[in-house]
Amino acid sequence: MAKFILRRFFLMLLTMVLVSVAVFLITEASPGNVARNVLGSFVTKEQEKSFLNQMGLDEPILVRYLHWLVGSDWMAERKVGLELKRVTSEEGFEEWWAVKAGGSLVRWKMKGNDLIALERGPQGEITTYTDNDRWKTNEQGTSFFWGINDQNQAVKWEKGEGKESWKFVMGTGWMKSAGAPTEYIPLKKGFVRGDPGISLRTGRPVSKSLGIRLRNSLVLAGSAFVIIMPIALFLGIAAGLREGSFLDRGLSIPGMMFSVIPEFVTGIFLILILAQWLDLVPGATVFGEKAPWTRPDMLVLPVLTLALIELGYILRITRASMAEVMQQAFVRTAFLKGLPYWQVIFKHAVRNALIAPITVIMLHINWMMSGIVIVEVVFGYPGLGKYLLDSALYKDVAALEAGAMIMVLIAVGTQLIADIVYTFLNPRIRYT
């Protein structure tokens, strides 16, 4: 079993690499303009070029992939010549600083042709002073300096360049500023070091936004799973034991109806009846960043929609598996030996009949986490599926990559759990 789990672990790593490359390539090839998605349709060519340059999106795709995977701070440290450190400010924002020889933190800005240092003290106080001694001269005689700015970027300033760039200022909009850097390296640690990057769509760290959305989807999917799986398995077993009976038909026909009706139709139908006509529960979910369990009434409709879809599918799979097992020779042999009916059912038939449903259930856990985007959109539920959909529409590759990696972990993890459960249901199954 240990060797089997180890093989699954390496399979997961390989799958994550292949999926990450595929997501990057598909996002790159998909239509749309990142700058226009983020800045608006009326952005000028000059603003678009400046935005792509500042975000590092004008780099070759291989460079951008490596920066996402292993980070860019190691490259920036070579340019700056100082160690770089990421700290969290008192307001909760993550900031990049250069570490001076004495251990103090510093970053810079340009004011005219002067280089201004902003040194951070132990208590977070900022000391400002002129730092023109750091200018270097290249072979062409141009004075330049690589440093860290206040936008979490390693940048290259050139004295006398007079270059202008566009920057977004809250409450003002896009403004042109002089003395802009000539080169940018957006700083990040990389996914393998626990930093999936910054979302282009929201401007927030992907890890924080994704954590909240993952929690919400876990609550929604988990609630539906806990409610519906025992019911679906019980009804499926009951229908399989009475194949062809009135009970079988009475359960199979509604189960088929629920499994084929699209999710958005079921959701809208429930909103119309329970929210509009009967006014029993809210027809939409408005949580913000609050936990979903703070408003359980808002969870009723999305959980019920998801539960009805899963009920029909799992019920029919369990019913078919149970009916097939009841026709097997070992079940007939057990009856011929005179074993009690319920002992044959629970000790022999049910354990073997659950193998197929367990496989389907584990596959559906992955679907319930990422494929419930339709349910989340219908009810405005702030879950992982809706987050990935919005990110895909914006070509927000950092958010898409992080979400895809979570899906791979869930897919491989649930299948590993299913394989382990098989060994308890059928002792003949062993992994080496």
The token duo for 340 is 């009690």
Q: What is the pLDDT of residues 90-104, one digit of tens each?
A: 777 789 999 998 888
Backbone angles phi, psi at 248, to 5 degrees: -60, -50
Rounded Cα distance, 258 and 256, in Å: 6
How do the domains of the chain map onto residue ranges? 42-193, 206-425
- Interhelix angle 263-270/296-325, rounded to 10 degrees, is 130
User: In which band, very low, low, confident or very high, does the pLDDT at 167 lie, cut at 50, 70 and 90?
Assistant: low
Which residues lie closer than 8 Å to 257 by C-beta, 6 or more apart?
Answer: 312
User: Is 50 within 8 Å of 176 (Cβ atoms)?
Assistant: no
Q: Across-strand partners of 99?
A: 83, 105
Q: Which helix (H) or strand (E) holds 15?
A: helix 2-29
Helix-strand-coil split of the chain, %, nearest 5: 60, 15, 25
pLDDT of res. 170: 46
What is the distance in angstroms between the CA of the first residue and the CA of the last residue of the chain?
6
The token duo for 324 is 């097939």
Instruction: Provide the 3-class DSSP secondary structure of residue 131.
Output: coil
* Rounded mean pLDDT, 345-363: 79
Q: Is the pLDDT of residue 17 over 80?
A: yes
Rounded Cα distance, 212 and 214, in Å: 5
Which residues lie closer than 8 Å to 143 by C-beta, 6 or more apart?
Answer: 135, 136, 137, 158, 159, 160
Sole residue written with tokens 């897919």: 411
User: Is 302 within 8 Å of 220 (Cβ atoms)?
Assistant: yes
Q: 136-140, 383-387, 422-426: which has the minimum mean pLDDT?
A: 422-426
Which residues lie closer than 8 Å to 240 by C-beta, 6 or more apart?
Answer: 248, 318, 319, 320, 321, 322, 323, 325, 326, 353
pLDDT of res. 408: 87
pTM (two decimals): 0.81
Q: Is the pLDDT of residue 431 over 60?
A: no
pLDDT more than 90, % of the chain: 22
CATH topology of domain 206-425: MetI-like fold (1.10.3720)
Least Cα distance to 184 among 143, 137, 140, 152 occurs for 152
Q: Burial letters for 41-53: b for 16+ Cβ neighbours within 10 Å, e otherwise?
A: eebeeebbebbbb
**Kind of pairing, strands 164-169 and 143-148?**
unpaired
Q: What is the pLDDT of residues 52-90, one digit of tens each?
A: 888 888 899 999 999 999 999 999 999 999 999 998 877
Return the ∠ at Cα 103 (arms to 99 and 104), rounded to 5°: 70
